[in-house]
Amino acid sequence: MKSNKNILSVLLNKRHKGRTISYTLVVAAWIILTVLQRGGHVSSLIAGLLVPITCYMVAALGLNLNVGISGELNLGQAGFMSVGAFTAVCISGYLAASIPAAPLRLAIALIGGAFVAVIFGLVIGIPVLKLQGDYLAIVTLAFGQIIKSIITNMYLGFDENGFQFSFVQNTTELAPGGKMLLNGPMGATGTQRIATFTAGVILVLIALMIIYNLIWSKSGRAIMAARDNRIAAELSGINITNTKMLSFVVSAGLAGAAGALYGLNYSTLVPNKFDFNTSILILVYVVLGGLGNMNGTMIATVVLVLLPELLRSLQDYRMLIYAVVLIVIMLITNNEHLKTWFKSIRSKQADSRKEAA
Amino acid sequence: MEFISYLVNGLGLGSVYAIIALGYTMVYGIAKMLNFAHGDVIMIGAYISFFALMNFGLPIIPATLLAIICCTILGVVIEKLAYKPLRQASSLAVLITAIGVSYFLQNGAQLLWTSATKVYPSAMPSGSLTLGGFSISWLTLITIGVCLLIMAVLTTFINKTKTGRAMRACSEDKGAAILMGINVNFIISVTFAIGSGLAAIASVLLCSTYPSVFPTLGAMPGIKAFTAAVFGGIGSIPGAFLGGLLLGIIEILAKAYISTQLSDAIVFAVLIVVLLIKPTGLLGRKLSEKV
Amino acid sequence: MSREHILKVRGLGIDFGGLTAVNGLDLDVYEGEIVGLIGPNGAGKTTVFNMLTHVYKPSRGEIIFCGENIASKNIVETNKAGIARTFQNIRLFNNLSVLDNVRIGYHNTITYSPLTAVLRLPAFRKQEKEITEKSMELLKILGLGDQAEVIAGNLPYGAQRRLEIARALASGPKLLLLDEPAAGMNPQETGDLMDMIRFVRDHFKISVLLIEHDMKLVMGICERITVLNYGMLLAEGTPEDIQNNPEVIKAYLGE
């Protein structure tokens, strides 16, 4: 009975370790950056990147649940960010007069953005999750394109008589004092910038909590079981569609919240911001950080958002170098010789540790 | 009458998509990878044929040949340097590498040739063929003709030659193909070479229709052609052909009768509907798992 | 004492394209029984398992399980009804720990919602503790007690087979289907496996239907045997009957 208890405690500790590291990292980064910023030691370039980094982080963490844990290739994460962003911008724009307190309005807008993204996730997930592998990838890609096209053609405004909406052609005629929320290809303009770094950090912590607690539960085990062996999972009584839906929708919701924060960080936001390239960018964070590895995702996001900025002195060459770095990292991390070499080092270390003990 | 001329224009655009989609589908069938850099090979082909036409004053056919040669070499080199070391890696790792290659080509082109749009010269026969009541431009006719020719040559190649047979064997079962003495690396190189050569032809046809050349030129046609390949059933050569043509027709008809701005959304919506009805595309094979 | 049917299969058949793989199969398993399903390679034994668990949809016939015809159910409902199985080509969740593999078997006994899990409410903690303890007990029974933390894909072959049985038992089945449980085992391991199957049957009060080529195992633990040849029922009876049945000998040894 004693050994039984030991194993349980070991398992629980192991799980808590990765999670504790994540929370500690995020909180430490927040404290350090806030202190530095107060002291005026953070360049305006970095300061401007703090909120976007947290946004990409949350979207990438969500995508890691979908791609890393659930094993589905999703190429439409930017679509969900877009839905979240424009929902939040509209909510915040509409409530600007009635709720002047920015943090409260921000919270409502984030929840609203996440909620609408979840609805989209459900609607898209029903057909999409019946497909497998690369077919699923292409449908998520198609979805991202459709969202972009639709938002590019949406016109939404309100005045004292209520909302006015038009599609493709702008036919809204607002009374004086009215306000356009969405303006077709121009997107949202005149948004109050109410996003803050602290809000971003809180969002990252919430995302981590949702993902970790989900992974280490019935749902997480079901998601991983469906990934590892579909038929065995079904025969263990797992409903594959529901399980995949859960990871897809949670991922969409997190992307929605991330997009919402992103949208409220800029005074203007065009629908083209969330195109296929953005989806790919987020996927790169996930893959480079390591599938299923949340700490890796966060580190990769920071490094890859900063990299082009730090290479700014190289001007025109920076994106070329970025591309080369990307290729070289993939070639090195997937090199069979290096992999076996690392393994041998690791096992040697483990052996020596055993001997020492 | 109007409808027929839209249909013909759709076939013209669809032919370009089909030629690009063939590159995607062949590489997928044999190397089992989504080559996201394929669209950027089109862009390189466009620049090369542009300089051949403008700076060297070559006629259209030699200019196209030059583009084909350069793109073929480029395709093979990309495969050798970036994809070959990843044969054993996960498909995601290969996908990310392909994206890296895509960024590299786009930014390299921007460095070499700036991001300013260049106007592609009109080197194709202008004017149109008038038959009965309506007319078709020579360019559209040539595009459709080239596509049909490519399809015929490719089908013969795949079915009748030794290399073609080896390609089919590789796409069926790479392990078994190696045991039969097929040099799989060579076959993959050939596949990339053919795909990239086709991309060069597509670039000339595309730029003759939409005469502007810029570093991200290949992105959208690339995504559309990829969609076409999936639409027809990825890995299937007739599927890519059919998917490309249908996609072109749907796009032109959507632009004409529904909305120009929403045509992309409509194309992708049709794709989703098709995949829901036939989850492996129009001509794709059904996969089943042995238990 | 009259014996109750746990599984009663009548006229079961399946066609793949134009090919009839299994046809007109009758099969009975009574409560608490260990039944063997044998036959030459390609006879359709695994196909029968696949139909019983609805991995393949039967083309015709009845599968009456605990008095209910389940022929039209799906895989997940089959599991809930109380049929669990192992696979000829082992199908574990290779990237998960041994313990998690078994805990997945308890999937449908857990009732807390994802939200409860995210918020780590008391219901989550209580149920997780319960199934973890139950899982550890199962692992001990199958001799995997000290390997709970190992990643399933790294286990040796024999241990993987036992883990599959543990996972199957976790879903609380009334009928356990074992597809070649002794494949790849040495005589010592096979002997242990026979004891274990008997123990599991008695301990969990279940019935077992097994496919096996190792005749020592089949004759040693099966109370009745059904022989399949070319997708059809060839013979049915006690091990003695089967061993002396000329039809069976012919099917195995040829003319």
The number of distinct structural domains making up chain B is 1
What chains are in contact with A, requiring at least 3 Cβ pairs below 8 Å? B, C
Q: What residues does each domain of chain A span?
A: 51-318
Distance from CA of C190 to the nearest CA of A (A): 24
The answer to whether residue B128 sits within a structural domain is: no
Q: What is the mean pLDDT of residues B242-258?
A: 94
Distance from CA of C45 to the nearest CA of B (A): 12
Q: Which amino acid is at C12?
A: L
For chain A positions 211-250, those within 8 Å of chain B (CB to CB) are 230-231
What is residue B197's predicted lDDT score, i.e. its pLDDT? 97
At B231, list the tokens: 């639409």
Q: Tell me how far apart the alpha carbons of residues A142 and B223 are, in angstroms, rounded to a whole number.
A: 9
At A248, list the tokens: 């897809």
The mean pLDDT of chain A is 89
State how far the alpha carbon of B58 is from the alpha carbons of B121, B125, B196, in Å.
11, 15, 21
A131 vs B265, B269, B279: nearest CB: B279
What is residue A11's predicted lDDT score, i.e. its pLDDT? 55
Distance from CA of A199 to the nearest CA of B (A): 31
Centre a 10 Å sphere on the Cβ of residue B264 and count the other Cβ atoms it contains.
Answer: 21
Q: What is the mean pLDDT of residues A72-99?
A: 94
Centre a 10 Å sphere on the Cβ of residue B130 and count the other Cβ atoms it contains.
Answer: 9
Q: Each residue of B198-223: pLDDT tens digit?
A: 999 999 999 999 999 999 999 999 99
Distance from CA of A60 to the nearest CA of C (A): 19
In sequence order, the β-bridge partners of residue B203 are none
Task: Name residues whose C-beta falls within 8 Å of residue C230's C-beta, 6 or more positions apart in sequence.
Answer: C43, C44
Distance from CA of B111 to the nearest CA of A (A): 7
Neighboring chain B residues of C55 at a CB cutoff of 8 Å: 291
What is residue B280's predicted lDDT score, i.e. its pLDDT? 84
Q: Tell me how far apart the alpha carbons of residues B252 and C245 are, in angstroms, rounded to a whole number.
A: 73
Neighboring chain B residues of A324 at a CB cutoff of 8 Å: 100, 104
A20 touches chain C (CB under 8 A): no
For residue B131, give the 3-state DSSP assignment.
strand
- pLDDT category of residue B288 using cuts at 50, 70 and 90: low
What is residue A169's predicted lDDT score, i.e. its pLDDT? 84
The answer to whether residue B168 sits within a structural domain is: yes
CB-CB under 8 Å, C79 with A218: no
Question: Is it the case that residue A211 has pLDDT exceeding 70?
Answer: yes
Residues B252/B270, Cβ–Cβ less than 8 Å: no
**Torsional sign, CA A283, A287, A290, A295:** negative
Residue of C nearest to B289 (CA): C55
Q: What is the mean pLDDT of residues A290-303?
A: 94
What is residue A130's predicted lDDT score, i.e. its pLDDT? 80
For residue B66, give the 3-state DSSP assignment.
helix
CATH fold, domain C1-82+173-255, is: Rossmann fold (3.40.50)
For residue B136, give the 3-state DSSP assignment.
strand
Centre a 10 Å sphere on the Cβ of residue C222 and count the other Cβ atoms it contains.
Answer: 23
Distance from CA of C244 to the nearest CA of A (A): 37
Q: Which of A331, A332, A336, A340 best tests the B interface by mutation, with the highest count of B CBs <10 A? A: A331
Q: Tell me how far apart the alpha carbons of residues B213 and B117 are, in angstroms, rounded to a whole number.
A: 5
What is residue A1's predicted lDDT score, i.e. its pLDDT? 41
Structural domain span for residue B147: 2-113+138-277
CB-CB under 8 Å, B85 with A145: no
Question: Is it the case that residue A2 has pLDDT exceeding 50?
Answer: no
Q: What residues does each domain of chain C span?
A: 1-82+173-255, 93-171
H, E, C per residue of chain C: CCCCEEEEEEEEEEEECCEEEEEEEEEEEECCCEEEEECCCCCCHHHHHHHHCCCCCCCEEEEEECCEECCCCCHHHHHHHCEEECCCCCCCCCCCEHHHHHHHHCHHHCCCCHHHHHCCCHHHHHHHHHHHHHHHHHHHHCCCHHHCCCEHHHCCHHHHHHHHHHHHHHCCCCEEEEECCCCCCCHHHHHHHHHHHHHHHHHHCCEEEEECCCHHHHHHHCCEEEEEECCEEEEEECHHHHHCCHHHHHHHHCC
Residue of C nearest to A234 (CA): C76
Residue of B nearest to C50 (CA): B291
CB-CB under 8 Å, A233 with C93: yes
Q: Which residues of chain C are under the pLDDT cut of 50?
A: 1
Any idea which residue has 């995607």 for tokens? B24
Extract long-range pairs of B68-71: CB within 8 Å, 24+ residues apart: B68/B197, B68/B200, B68/B201, B70/B44, B70/B45, B70/B200, B71/B41, B71/B44, B71/B45, B71/B196, B71/B197, B71/B199, B71/B200, B71/B203
Any idea which residue has 């990307």 for tokens? A326
What is residue A190's predicted lDDT score, i.e. its pLDDT? 87
Complex ipTM, two decimals? 0.91
Q: Within chain B, where are the H helices?
A: 2-31, 38-54, 60-78, 91-113, 138-160, 162-172, 174-179, 184-209, 219-232, 237-257, 263-277
What is residue C1's predicted lDDT score, i.e. its pLDDT? 43
A229 vs C79, C91, C105: nearest CB: C91
What chains are in contact with C, requiring at least 3 Cβ pairs below 8 Å? A, B
Counting Cα atoms < 13 Å in the Cβ hemisphere of A111 gives: 6
Which residue from A239, A290, A226, A251 is spatially nearest to A143, judged by alpha carbons? A251
CB-CB under 8 Å, A225 with C104: yes
Q: What is the pTM of this model?
A: 0.90
Exposure class string for B206-239: b at 16+ Cβ within 10 A, else e: bbbbeeebbbbbbbebbbbbbbbbbbbbbbbbeb
Centre a 10 Å sphere on the Cβ of residue C240 and count the other Cβ atoms it contains.
Answer: 10
Neighboring chain A residues of C128 at a CB cutoff of 8 Å: 217
C46 touches chain B (CB under 8 A): yes
Question: Is it the case that residue B75 has pLDDT exceeding 60?
Answer: yes
A235 vs C53, C95, C118: nearest CB: C53
Question: Is it the case that residue A16 has pLDDT exceeding 70?
Answer: no
- pLDDT category of residue A17 using cuts at 50, 70 and 90: confident
Q: Tell me how far apart the alpha carbons of residues C243 and A141 are, in angstroms, rounded to a whole number.
A: 61
CATH of the domain at B145: 1.10.3470
- pLDDT category of residue A161 using cuts at 50, 70 and 90: confident
- pLDDT category of residue B110 using cuts at 50, 70 and 90: very high
Start-to-end CA distance of chain A, whole Å, equals 24
pLDDT above 90: percentage of residues in chain B:
71
Q: What is the mean pLDDT of residues A210-231?
A: 95
Neighboring chain A residues of B289 at a CB cutoff of 8 Å: 230-231
At B250, list the tokens: 């749907």
- pLDDT category of residue A132 using cuts at 50, 70 and 90: confident
Start-to-end CA distance of chain C, whole Å, equals 42
B288 touches chain C (CB under 8 A): no
- pLDDT category of residue B287 using cuts at 50, 70 and 90: low
Q: Each residue of C163-207: pLDDT tens digit?
A: 999 999 999 999 999 999 998 888 998 999 999 999 999 999 999
